[in-house]
Structure 1
Amino acid sequence: MAYLARVLKAASLKKTCDKYKRAKWQAYAAEGGEVDIRLCERKPLWLIKLRKKFKRSFLYKYLRKFRRKGTKENVFIKSLTGFLGGILLTYVYFFLFVVGLRFPLRISTYFCIIFGIIVCLGMAFSSKIRCFILLLIPVFFSKESRKVVMTYALYLSFTGPVHNMMHNMGILSDSMTCGQEMVRRTLRQIEDMVKAPFRAMKDTLTKIKKALQEAIDKTKTFFDNIKRIILSILYVIKKAVSWLGSIVNFCNKELGTPFQRCMKTLDDAIEDCKAKMGIMGFLCHVVHVVKALCYTVKFLDLICLFTEFVSDAIVGLVKRKLREFSTQIKNLFYVSVEFSHTYEHNLEASNSTKFIARTIIHEMTKKFEKLYKFFNLLGWGFSFFFILIFFRVYYYKYKYLSSDSYDNRYITSYIAELDLRRLKANRETILPLELRERKHYCSATSLRLLRSEVESILTTMLVLSLSTFQIAAFMLCDYGLYWVLFTIYHEGQKQVVQVEGAEIGLHVSGNGSLAKFYSNLGKALKIPKNPNLDVDPTHCLPDPIPPDKDKYMQIACLTGFCWILAVVEVYNLRLRNVVMSHYYPERAKERAVWLYNHILRSRGGFVKFARRQLRRKKRCAKGKRTEKITIKQRIFAKMPFLAKLFGQENEDACILCGTPKSKEEVLKKCATPGCGGKYCIKCFASLGNICTICQHPIEYGDITDISEEKDSSDESFEELMRHKMRDSYPSDDEGTFKSRETRPKFRDLERNLKIDFAQKVNEIIE
């Protein structure tokens, strides 16, 4: 990887060298020389002549006045540009307040009027306000702006997709409640339909039972009458037999039975014969033979027995048979019909489903209402963000002017000039930077990222990815819920064709009670062919609210803008250093000196540092003179927090060569109030004991630093120039006057240093 970097650097240097050669050849050709240049590298002579004529024209001289600092034209163009920039910035703020933050038009107008007056006048006539406004531009692309934009994107996601999702959830809840009510109503209808045959059967059975009961009652009455008649006949027979028996009993009791009377008569005759015959009474025993005739009437005794038989056997048998016949008739006509139907439907709920769903939606809305209010207030809170931005800009400006180490990690042109001066003085330099140092320091215009910047970008992307995932989840849930509900609504609109089922019936042929019973039972169990059920679900289908595509696009643009800010944030923040360096060049030189010494002191390990210091003490170092660095300076360079802790963060040093103040090196400070010029004795002598920071070029006699083009409006400038060239003034230390011809020129010194820099670049290329 290091080899590839060297190859790329060599290719870049070769390209720069070729460009330099072509420019040199073109300049030589413009002077009239002939150089063999490739056709593709040649420039038309008419273009070169046109450029020369343009440089001699009045327009070119007038345009140079716009670029020359201090002229009326330059002041006018700065004021006009600042005023127009203030108007543009005011319109941008107005558009942001009205369209972006949805502020009321009246409040936004009043605020932008006040803001526009301050900004337009300030940018037109004050360089400090111009510096402050220019510092606002990089801060607007910093992490604070990204956080605000991401917060606003979250606010839009809550007021857009999340709010729409809550509405669709309410629609889904209403649809489910409607469906449950429809199912409950349909189940009630089905229950009634299921119960209808059983009710009909019950009614039929009740009617059949009633008819049978009537028939049984009639039959019972008929047989009761027959039984009563038979019992009456039996009673009459029994009474007759009883009467005959009583007569026979009376006859037998009074007269005896015929057999008894016959036997008694014969016995009485024998006794009477014996009485009359006396001794011849034995002849009376002949009558015993006649007793045999009495047995002929013996059967007449059965008449009494017959009456008893009739009374006991016949009547009892008839009664028993009649009872059995009655029981058989009863069993024959006895019908027992039992109808048992059980249907249990238990729903223990204190409230209806619709009421419960509305309660849930109300609770969720109540919880999210606080969040909605918070984000609505957050929209007003965005106005305070600009106050925070102003504070951040002021804080950066204050730290830049007061602290040398704050945001001081960029290699500027002042460091390059300082390195060339030290190179010319045969002192230790820092350029080119080492590989380890390139990870911590670079140019403000370089595309290469520092290690701290890479870590910052990775951390920012990690945090930003979480927020992006959250916003994407909100949008995905909203669109997913809408897609599901829309699919349900679209598919539910299709009508389902119901197929008619076969009709089931029961036909009973025959006559009689049982046939009629089964026929009525079959009619009762007949299922309706087309039951009238209200099962149309179209009025319960959820009709969702579609997502706001414009708000989706706005959220996506804001999120993408945040990702762009995360990538270019470090480059935007570098502009703050460039702006401050432009408006405060003296302070930029002081910071460049501090950074130069910091890099020089922190370079290498401790062993290398100790070895160099020993060589410096023994005066055995060859080539460049080694810079003296103390242990305290080394520790403070390696651990900057100790320098802040002990108050050694800012250190006095020469702004030309970077030599720090010490017992051996005494710095010359400019006596002009507010001037930050500090020089070592050698550099101050090379400047002719004059501070070129706080003085005008005319004052120290170098008119090459100012514009030579003048017009009729520059009379005061000419008078001042003649006055300064005619009069003399003492220097800071020696009190002697040096003429313009003998006084060294700072511009010539700078030009020589640039030549040395070009020579050094050529050496590096070679």
Structure 2
Amino acid sequence: MEEQRTNRIKLPHSTLEKISELILPSVAHRFLFGLPSQFPVARMLMGALFGAVTGSGLFFGLVSNISLTFFHKVIAGYAFVAVCVLGGMFSSYFRCTVLLMFPNIFGSRGRAFGMFLVLHALFQGPISNIQHNVQDVAFSMGCNIDLQIKYSKVMWRAVTEPFVQVLEEIVDDSVKFQKEAQNVSSEFQSIRDEVMGHYGYESLGQNDTAAGNSTQEQYVAKTMMRCDYVVKQGIERCQDWFSSKWQECMDTVDSVIINHFLCVPMKFEFLCNIMRVMTPWCEDKIPVEGNFGQTFDKLSSSIDKLGEQFTTNVVLQKLEQHPMYVTALQDEFRKELTKTFQETKNTFENISKFIQILLSFAFLAGFASGFRYAQQYTRNSRFDNVYITTYFKQIDERRKALGKTYLLPMRKAEKSNFIDPCNLKIHPSELKPVIAGLVQVVSLALLTFVLLATDGVLFHFFDIIQRHTFTEFSITSHHNIHIDIDGDSMLAKLLRKTIGAFNTSSKLDIDSSNQQCLPQPHALSHSDYLWCVLPLLLMGTMCCLQVYANRIRRVITAFYFPKREKRRILFLYNLQLDRHISYIIRQRKRLRRRRLPPNQMLSTLLSPLAWFGCKLHWCWVCEEHVRQSKSVQCSDPHCTVLYCPQCWKDLGSSCVCSAHTDSRSQDSESDTDVYYVG
């Protein structure tokens, strides 16, 4: 009876069940691995708690980067958690799918999430920093150009301002200039009257034209006529004096006869003619310069023009190259540059926001991936059914104990089709997704390295510009002109009004620098580098752990669907048992169809090693490398097939060229009936 009771005891069909039986209390073990009818209330409560916890986590991960109002978040959160609670209470698919999200993190979904993290860190870190530094340098160049233009204007103003000031003073004194010109004209009129006037001689009956046409001839003639007139007037006055003295003498002497004798000298009027000798003297002693007339004409003409046309309306022509247009062009260029950088910044921000939204929906992608895996697991017996599980071994042990055909240990060529979940060695079929993931990580790492290196190079370059382009401006200008014009003459007054305007002074002393125009490059912080590098390291780690996480997926699904797991293992065992029986026939048929040795490309690449006695040999059955000393070759000289010792033994120690294939055996190509899902 005791032996029969022991035989009735249910043996654990999985390693997880064995561990649970050893560690957990019996009640907890029966709760986890018992029938669904056991502990129904507790199962529903635990399912509701599981749904609430996982729903809250999924919701916060989903809406963390989505802009919603607090009210909408609360409503959506309650609805989402309620759905998850219902799913946790009544759906094994839901509970299984939620748990499958965790091993999926180490797979392609996790790498996608890590890639989004890296891209987000790149956009927020080096890409944004490069854009900021380039924008800063562009604005710095514009600022330096504006600063140079500004100080060029200051220097030009310092040079031209004294002259402008002189001209402005002349313009301001225009009324005084006009008055002085009129005074000069009026003062010169007396000189003109003296030269051109008809006084000092008897003009009646005199013809100026006969004297000459030029001013020189007229002035000479008038001078001589004045001299003659003076002599004539002297003679007439002399004669009048003799006449008056004769009358006085006659009136003084009363005697008629005596007075005539005494006053006879008063009748010597002829003596007055002696003054006529002055006429030759005038010609000799009062000469007129030969160019007097020409000089007077020029001076008179100048004085006339000075009084009639001279004005002090000084016109200052300022040549400007459309300053308003240049300023508008500079402003437009600055606005366009700012607009371009702002558009680029907005594009980067939009891409960053889009990546954040993708990060949020990555949880949903992981959930959908887990649901698809659970669905395929329960519907397709060939889906991811390549594991030698505990139940597989139990079936094989029972058949071995009953003396029936068994599978374990498998032949060498058969081992390549199965994975031992307890073995840490990576199976070749598991290696492909690992390599694909590492290629993706390396590509992303190269992109990250290029962007970080570019940002670092640009930062150091801009930092050199900042440290070595500092410029100090020192503009010094001293201007002092003082001209003294003494005298009260007309010319002195005129010169004081004109030349005196140049008495100006100015002083300019400016000390400045381009400190405000220097670029201020920004370097990435240590946290930026960590956000770029740590996700890459995490992705690389996930690639290595992906193999073992994929094995855990089957364990989780088998825990929720134990009956389906048994049917899958029975299907796999029966399928492999059929393969095992027809192993020799299938291998011989496969080798007969093969024309070239395995790994032909690798052998061709490594063919130079044959010169050093290191030629590579491959087993045609298991396609593994085998040493030439241990390899088995067919005795037929025309046969080139090589075998490793184990495969030679599995084929019954006979080559394919010497054996006949059973025509009744059918090769169903069952090697592809079950497949691994990475």
TM-score by length of 1: 0.48
2:100 to 132, 135, 144: 135
Contact map agreement 2:466 2:518 (CA 8 A) in 1: yes
Contact map agreement 2:127 2:451 (CA 8 A) in 1: yes
Mapped partners of 1:571, 1:62: distance in 2: 24
Mapped partners of 1:393, 1:204: distance in 2: 93
The aligned runs of 1:229-308 (5 Å cut-off) are: 231-236=217-222
Contact map agreement 1:86 1:116 (CA 8 A) in 2: yes
Contact map agreement 1:139 1:145 (CA 8 A) in 2: yes
What residue in structure 1 maps to residue 591 of structure 2? 606
Matched letter for residue 566 of structure 2 = P
Distance change >3 Å, CA 404–CA 500, structure 1 → 2:
closer
Distance change >3 Å, CA 440–CA 539, structure 1 → 2:
same
The aligned runs of 1:388-403 (5 Å cut-off) are: 388-403=365-380
Distance change >3 Å, CA 598–CA 509, structure 1 → 2:
farther
Computed over aligned residues only, the root mean square deviation of the Cα atoms, in angstroms, reads 6.4
Contact map agreement 1:172 1:485 (CA 8 A) in 2: yes
Mapped partners of 1:72, 1:456: distance in 2: 37
What residue in structure 1 maps to residue 552 of structure 2? 575
Query: Which string of whole-angstrom CA distances, capped at 9 and with x for unpartnered residues, describes residues 537-579 of structure 1?
Result: 6666778999798777656554544343333223212222233
Stretch of structure 1 that moved more, 217-226 or 81-90? 217-226
The aligned runs of 1:179-578 (5 Å cut-off) are: 183-200=148-165, 228=196, 231-236=217-222, 320-322=290-292, 345=321, 349=326, 351-362=328-339, 365-366=342-343, 369=346, 372=349, 376=353, 379=356, 385-416=362-393, 425=403, 429=407, 431=409, 434=412, 441-468=418-445, 470=447, 528-530=507-509, 557-578=534-555
Mapped partners of 1:632, 1:375: distance in 2: 61
Mapped partners of 2:22, 2:106: distance in 1: 37
2:34 to 70, 93, 99: 70
Matched letter for residue 143 of structure 1 = S
Distance change >3 Å, CA 90–CA 399, structure 1 → 2:
closer
Query: Which string of whole-angstrom CA distances, capped at 9 and with x for unpartnered residues, describes residues 284-332 of structure 1?
Result: xxxxxxxxxxxxxxxxxxxxxxx9xxxxx99xx96854457669999xx
Mapped partners of 1:606, 1:90: distance in 2: 55
Contact map agreement 2:472 2:514 (CA 8 A) in 1: no
Contact map agreement 1:85 1:120 (CA 8 A) in 2: yes
1:444 alignment partner, SS class: coil
What residue in structure 2 maps to residue 279 of structure 1? none
Mapped partners of 1:61, 1:145: distance in 2: 31
How far 1:143 sits from its partner (Å)?
1.0
Mapped partners of 2:147, 2:472: distance in 1: 19
1:588 to 560, 569, 582: 569
Mapped partners of 1:100, 1:527: distance in 2: 66
Contact map agreement 1:509 1:515 (CA 8 A) in 2: no
Contact map agreement 2:387 2:420 (CA 8 A) in 1: yes
| Structure with bigger gyration radius | 1
The aligned runs of 1:35-114 (5 Å cut-off) are: 63-68=25-30, 69-70=33-34, 85-97=50-62, 99=64, 105-114=70-79
Contact map agreement 2:103 2:553 (CA 8 A) in 1: yes
1:400 alignment partner, SS class: helix
Distance change >3 Å, CA 234–CA 358, structure 1 → 2:
closer
How far 1:96 sits from its partner (Å)?
2.0
Contact map agreement 2:98 2:367 (CA 8 A) in 1: no
Distance change >3 Å, CA 200–CA 491, structure 1 → 2:
same
1:528 alignment partner, SS class: strand
How far 1:196 sits from its partner (Å)?
0.9
Contact map agreement 1:405 1:595 (CA 8 A) in 2: no
How far 1:426 sits from its partner (Å)?
8.1
Query: Which string of whole-angstrom CA distances, capped at 9 and with x for unpartnered residues, describes residues 63-117 of structure 1?
Result: 3454354389985887776555444423432442454656655555545545545
Mapped partners of 1:632, 1:509: distance in 2: 133
Distance change >3 Å, CA 238–CA 521, structure 1 → 2:
closer
TM-score by length of 2: 0.53
Contact map agreement 2:385 2:568 (CA 8 A) in 1: no
What residue in structure 2 maps to residue 682 of structure 1? none
Unaligned runs of 5+ in 1: 1-58, 244-306, 308-312, 613-619, 641-648, 652-766
Matched letter for residue 669 of structure 2 = F
Mapped partners of 1:440, 1:515: distance in 2: 118
Distance change >3 Å, CA 539–CA 403, structure 1 → 2:
same
Kindly tell me the number of residue pairs found equivalent between the two proteins.
499
Higher RCO, Cα 8 Å, sep 6+: 2
Pairing 1:146–2:111 present: yes
Mapped partners of 1:629, 1:219: distance in 2: 150
2:328 alignment partner, SS class: coil
Mapped partners of 1:102, 1:555: distance in 2: 25
Contact map agreement 2:130 2:455 (CA 8 A) in 1: yes
Mapped partners of 2:446, 2:369: distance in 1: 29
**Identical-residue share of aligned pairs (%):** 15
Stretch of structure 1 that moved more, 154-163 or 143-152? 154-163
Contact map agreement 1:442 1:450 (CA 8 A) in 2: yes
1:443 alignment partner, SS class: coil
How far 1:606 sits from its partner (Å)?
1.1
Mapped partners of 2:660, 2:392: distance in 1: 16
Unaligned runs of 5+ in 2: 1-20, 198-215, 230-278, 304-313, 593-619, 622-633, 642-650
Distance change >3 Å, CA 181–CA 157, structure 1 → 2:
same
Distance change >3 Å, CA 588–CA 558, structure 1 → 2:
same
Contact map agreement 1:139 1:389 (CA 8 A) in 2: yes
Mapped partners of 2:441, 2:432: distance in 1: 14
The aligned runs of 1:750-761 (5 Å cut-off) are: none
Contact map agreement 1:581 1:588 (CA 8 A) in 2: no
Mapped partners of 2:88, 2:572: distance in 1: 27
What residue in structure 1 maps to residue 669 of structure 2? 636
Contact map agreement 2:59 2:77 (CA 8 A) in 1: yes
Mapped partners of 1:194, 1:183: distance in 2: 17
Contact map agreement 1:415 1:593 (CA 8 A) in 2: no
Contact map agreement 1:164 1:545 (CA 8 A) in 2: yes
Contact map agreement 1:177 1:354 (CA 8 A) in 2: no
Contact map agreement 1:507 1:519 (CA 8 A) in 2: no
Distance change >3 Å, CA 231–CA 387, structure 1 → 2:
same
What residue in structure 1 maps to residue 242 of structure 2? none
Contact map agreement 1:444 1:574 (CA 8 A) in 2: yes
